[in-house]
Amino acid sequence: MNNQMYNISPPNTISQEHKEFYISYNTRDYMTYGAITTALVIGDQMDICYILEGDHREGYKAIGDDLEKCIEYFEQYSDKINKYSDKIGKPTSKELVAADLKRRGY
């Protein structure tokens, strides 16, 4: 039996938590996302994830708890939107999966 201790920690840190959303900063999933990312996560079930490449914690922190202004900040950095991000005005990843499961009869 191998008794080594493994340092397992979540890939992201939550830098701001508000009633409707939180900011998630991820430095560990570089191989998946292709960059360090900062996500504006909306909903208690991660309903919407707007992901920007780079460290945007200070930008979101300066805005505070105004969700609408956080969304405007996300849109302002449209050149930094990660390929895995939900897109404003398009079905979310969660909605696409639900539609696919429904189509398959689940």
In tens, the pLDDT along 62-82 reads 999 999 999 999 999 999 999
Residue type, 1: M
pLDDT in tens, 23-44: 999 998 888 889 999 999 998 7
pTM: 0.78
- Select from 23, 10, 5, 99 the least CA-distant residue to 59: 23
Q: Where are the domains of the chain?
A: 12-103
Rounded Cα gap, residues 47 and 40, in angstroms: 11
